């Protein structure tokens, strides 16, 4: 019979076999997700492997492992809190940079409702101008009217549309280079 000193691998295997279930139970009772407990156990035994010479023998090994698991859990929680705070900051910054995808839909619904409240002749002249991208002289040809009559009708239709849309949409500034005789601001921007 040989009194050979067990190898480092053998010492670790015995330590792991003797305590893995209890360390896992300790971790499972302190986390919300089982995969987090598995991470705690893996990290705890990684520390034990690295510091194998410091691990107490016998009954004192388990409390030592629990202490490592406790610190690992604390690190995990701090990391989760940092990620959560970072996520909150990113969501806040994104909300400032990226428009809400529902905003254009709401604007289009509002615009369609306002257009529906216009007289058919007003709606038609706006649609020809905005959706078909026709100049007043071209609209005059389509409708069989004079260019002057079309310009007058367009002006009244834009005013009526702005009134229907109300202050929220009707008072937007015109973009640079915008031909104010041609298209109402919102209707051009949000035409369905």
- Range of 38's domain? 8-97
- Kindly state whether residue 1 falls inside one of the protein's structural domains: no
Task: Give the separation between CA 69 and CA 118, rounded to whole angstroms.
Answer: 71
- Kindly state whether residue 3 falls inside one of the protein's structural domains: no
Q: What is the CATH number of the domain that holds 142?
A: 1.10.10.10
More confident residue, 36 or 167: 36
* Confidence at residue 154, expressed as pLDDT on a 0 to 100 scale: 93
Give CA torsion, residues 82, 86, 89, 94, to 10 deg: -160
For residues 139 and 162, state if they share a domain.
yes
For residues 48 and 91, state if they share a domain.
yes
For residues 159 and 173, state if they share a domain.
yes
For residues 48 and 21, state if they share a domain.
yes
Task: Give the separation between CA 160 and CA 41, rounded to whole angstroms.
Answer: 70
For the record, the structure tokens of 129 come out as 């101008």
Task: Give the separation between CA 151 and CA 157, rounded to whole angstroms.
Answer: 10
- Kindly state whether residue 29 falls inside one of the protein's structural domains: yes
**Domain boundary at 97, 125, 156, which?**
97
Comparing 39-43, 51-55, 110-114, 157-161, which segment has the lowest mean pLDDT?
110-114
For residues 57 and 83, state if they share a domain.
yes
Task: Give the separation between CA 41 and CA 60, rounded to whole angstroms.
Answer: 18
For residues 62 and 131, state if they share a domain.
no
Q: Structure pTM?
A: 0.48
For residues 92 and 126, state if they share a domain.
no
For residues 59 and 109, state if they share a domain.
no
For residues 79 and 118, state if they share a domain.
no
Residue 111 has pLDDT above 70, yes or no: yes
Residue 117 DSSP symbol: T
| Secondary structure class of 54 (helix, strand, coil) | helix
For residues 107 and 90, state if they share a domain.
no
- The answer to whether the beta carbons of residues 151 and 183 sit under 8 Å apart is no
For residues 114 and 182, state if they share a domain.
yes
Place of tokens 């971790």: 27
Summarised one tens digit per residue, pLDDT across range 91-100 is 888 777 776 6
Domain count, the chain: 2
**Domain boundary at 97, 119, 136, which?**
97
SS3 content of the chain, % helix, strand, coil (to 5): 75, 0, 25
For residues 129 and 176, state if they share a domain.
yes
Q: At what angle do helices 147-165 and 136-143 cross, to 10 degrees?
A: 100
Task: Give the separation between CA 25 and CA 13, rounded to whole angstroms.
Answer: 19
**Domain boundary at 97, 120, 137, which?**
97
Residue 90 has pLDDT above 90, yes or no: no
Q: Containing H/E element for 68?
A: helix 61-97
């Amino acid at each position: 019979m040989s009194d050979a000193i067990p190898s480092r691998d053998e010492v670790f295997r015995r330590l792991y076999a003797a305590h893995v279930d209890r360390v896992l139970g300790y971790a499972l009772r302190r986390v919300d997700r089982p995969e987090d407990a598995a991470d705690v156990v893996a990290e705890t035994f990684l520390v034990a492997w690295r510091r194998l010479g410091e691990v107490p023998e016998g009954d004192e090994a388990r409390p030592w492992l629990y202490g490592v698991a406790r610190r690992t859990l604390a690190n995990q929680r701090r990391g989760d809190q940092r990620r959560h705070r970072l996520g909150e900051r990113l969501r806040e910054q994104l909300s400032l940079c990226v428009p809400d995808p529902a905003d254009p839909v709401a604007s289009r619904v509002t615009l369609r409702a306002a257009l529906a409240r216009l007289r058919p002749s007003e709606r038609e002249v706006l649609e020809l101008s905005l959706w078909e991208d026709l100049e007043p002289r071209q609209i005059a040809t389509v409708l069989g009217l004079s260019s002057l009559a079309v310009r007058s009708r367009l002006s009244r239709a834009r005013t009526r549309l702005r009134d229907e849309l109300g202050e929220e949409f009707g008072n937007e500034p015109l973009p640079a280079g915008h031909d104010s005789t041609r298209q109402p601001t919102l209707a051009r921007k949000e035409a369905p």
